Amino acid sequence: MRVIVPGEEVRTEQDFHRILAHQLEFGEHYGWNLAALRDRLLNDVPRPIDLVWRNSEASRKLLGSNLFERICAILNEAEVQDREFGWEDRFVLTLE
């Protein structure tokens, strides 16, 4: 599955959650916070996922570097986990 995050639309953390929750069909019980995002990505989102964060620098400016880096750390953790597990179908992050 290809997930596109349009960077210019990610002005707040909730914007990021909204975009991912919609495209990955997180459902009504999603926690809408970074801990919930981590849980979903590392535990129960079907693979493969090719997440492309377009114009990510716009998001960094809008969110602030601290929050942007916290979100990226979770995304990177999912990518590393899948690679270390040796999964063929895995999570891949691309920042554009």
**pLDDT for 32-69, tens place per residue?**
999 999 999 999 999 999 999 999 999 999 999 999 99
pLDDT (0 to 100) of residue 21: 97
Distance CA 52, CA 48 (A): 13
| CB contact at 8 A, 58 and 11 | no
So what CATH class is 2-95? Answer: alpha beta
Write the single-letter amino acid at 75. Answer: L
- At position 2, the amino acid (one-letter code) is R
Q: Where are the domains of the chain?
A: 2-95
Give the pLDDT of residue 17.
Answer: 98
The three-class DSSP label of residue 77 is: helix
Sort strands 91-95 and 49-54 into parallel, antiparallel or unpaired. parallel
Q: What is the pLDDT of residue 89?
A: 97
Answer whether 14's CB lies under 8 Å from 32's CB.
yes
For range 1-19, the mean pLDDT: 98
pLDDT of residue 6: 98
pLDDT averaged over every residue in the chain? 97
